[in-house]
Structure 1
Amino acid sequence: MVLQKCSAGGRRPGRPRQFELEQRADIILAAAERIVVEKGLAAASMEAIAREAGMSKRTLYELFDSRSALFAAIVRRLRDAVTHPLSQEEAKLSLEARLRLLLTPRSSKFYDPLPTMLLRAMVTEAERQPSLAAEFLREGIYKVHAMIRTELDRAVAQGEIRISDTEAAARLMADMAYDGVLEHLLTPLPAHEQIEAFHRRLDLAIRVFLKGIGE
């Protein structure tokens, strides 16, 4: 996402201007998410998003220089909501506790239809829109892999565990923690069952991973 910080209307640049731009960006992203959920990714053109947000296309392009950039911001916002970047204090916890915090989303996001809608859209449209598919991977699961790897590298450096290939191990941990894509798309659990199922899977995944990955 590109936020322009130049002055406008005679105002000096600074935090108030930046805050206004961030508010506009949030409105735009929320509008784009509504369109994706209600009508699908193909309907989420810049024109349609601008109309839904009550803004001009020019305003959209002032904040996001392309549709791919806007989509990447949606994925980043979703990723930030369903992961838990660790604070300095949390980074001092055990590896098991760090992984659990990192991979546990806020409960409200278990009821959000957006992740499933985006995933379905990517499966359907990846061939026609490879740039969006690339953004989905880069800003989504690849960044999650990187966050897990950071904690594994920290654990190796601190002598908590021995892992020769932390990149491959991070991918394995992510695959173990999250439901299989095909099953999730075809037979998603009712919303009220998702939280318990996720925590059961995450608990098992972390136990199996930590007992089996060390060398």
Structure 2
Amino acid sequence: MVKETDMNACEPHRRRGRPVQMDSAAREEEIVRATKALLMSSSLDEVTMAAIARETGMSKRTIYAHFDSLEALLRRSMAEIGKVIFLPLNEVEKTKPLKERLSLLLTLNKPPVSEDRKREFLRTLIAKAHVYPNLAREMCQNGRGILRGYICAELEEAVREGVLKIAPGRLALAAEILMDMAFWDPVPSLLDPDYIYPVEGDMALRREAAIEIFLNGCLTHRP
């Protein structure tokens, strides 16, 4: 499964002098692109309307004509970043065995930023959740919520085909349990400054073990 973040969409691209003329849709897309680039390279506190204006070569007044608040712009930008992290299966991948489909879904396409920067962003967002409540809420919905939906769809199909046995009404809970098993708890990394984040190999081992344990508990017939 090819999961590569569009690097060009995240790289800063500052304009010099008078910005070229754009239609409204292109201008809005440029504002979002610049905001995503800043989110990837700066702390959340540094992603201000003034910084976005500098990045785009536009005035703050122009930006406010498209987004009535910084939070609205951050929400749109974070939603687009989420779209390249949590990807649905393509038509070829949908034909693979259930175990492989779940593994593909749980293998996230991580943004091209360091673990330290991601943790710092998360710390800041948690601290400012009362300032940006809609952003914090939508980050959960557009991140973990999207992934839960993809996994639920696969589990539902497996139940319908008689491969898995999961009680009616518990598919979402089963998906949540599988995600909890597959991913490390981020809280220790936010609290402990000396925390060593697991490397990709350790994450892959945990993911595959989680899927195996989960399926062994839900399969209707043991191999």
Name the TM tier (shorter chain).
Answer: 0.7 to 0.9
Question: How far apart are 1:86 and its partner, in Å?
Answer: 0.6
Question: How far apart are 1:63 and its partner, in Å?
Answer: 4.5
How high is the TM-score relative to the length of structure 1? 0.75
Specify the alignment match of 1:85 in structure 2.
88
Give yes or no for contact 1:27–1:53 (8 Å, CA) kept in 2: yes
Q: Distance in 2 between matches of 1:28 and 1:112?
A: 20
Specify the alignment match of 1:154 in structure 2.
157
Question: How far apart are 1:195 and its partner, in Å?
Answer: 0.8
1:66 matched to 2:69: yes
1:189 matched to 2:196: yes
Question: How far apart are 1:145 and its partner, in Å?
Answer: 1.5
Give yes or no for contact 1:149–1:166 (8 Å, CA) kept in 2: yes
* Alignment counterpart, residue 22 of structure 1, candidates 15, 29, 34: 29
Give yes or no for contact 1:71–1:132 (8 Å, CA) kept in 2: yes
Question: How far apart are 1:171 and its partner, in Å?
Answer: 0.9
* One-letter amino acid of the structure 1 residue matched with residue 187 of structure 2: L
* One-letter amino acid of the structure 2 residue matched with residue 157 of structure 1: R
CA 1:128–1:19 in 2, change beyond 3 Å: closer, same or farther? Answer: closer
Give yes or no for contact 1:173–1:209 (8 Å, CA) kept in 2: yes
Question: How far apart are 1:114 and its partner, in Å?
Answer: 4.6
Q: Distance in 2 between matches of 1:59 and 1:115?
A: 30
* One-letter amino acid of the structure 2 residue matched with residue 208 of structure 1: I
Give yes or no for contact 1:82–1:103 (8 Å, CA) kept in 2: no
* Alignment counterpart, residue 175 of structure 1, candidates 151, 166, 180: 180
1:118 matched to 2:126: no
Question: How far apart are 1:56 and its partner, in Å?
Answer: 2.1
Secondary structure, counterpart of 1:140 in structure 2: helix
CA 1:152–1:72 in 2, change beyond 3 Å: closer, same or farther? Answer: farther
Structure 2: gaps of 5 or more residues: 1-20
Give yes or no for contact 2:86–2:146 (8 Å, CA) kept in 1: no
Specify the alignment match of 2:210 in structure 1.
205
* Aligned-residue RMSD, C-alpha: 2.9
Structure 1: gaps of 5 or more residues: 1-8
How high is the TM-score relative to the length of structure 2? 0.73
CA 1:104–1:62 in 2, change beyond 3 Å: closer, same or farther? Answer: farther
Give yes or no for contact 1:84–1:104 (8 Å, CA) kept in 2: no
Specify the alignment match of 2:3 in structure 1.
none
1:57 matched to 2:60: yes
Q: Which has the higher helix share?
A: 1
CA 1:78–1:189 in 2, change beyond 3 Å: closer, same or farther? Answer: farther
Specify the alignment match of 1:3 in structure 2.
none
Q: Distance in 1 between matches of 2:155 and 2:174?
A: 8
CA 1:59–1:163 in 2, change beyond 3 Å: closer, same or farther? Answer: farther
Secondary structure, counterpart of 2:138 in structure 1: helix
Is the deviation greater in 168-177 or in 119-128? 119-128
Specify the alignment match of 2:16 in structure 1.
none
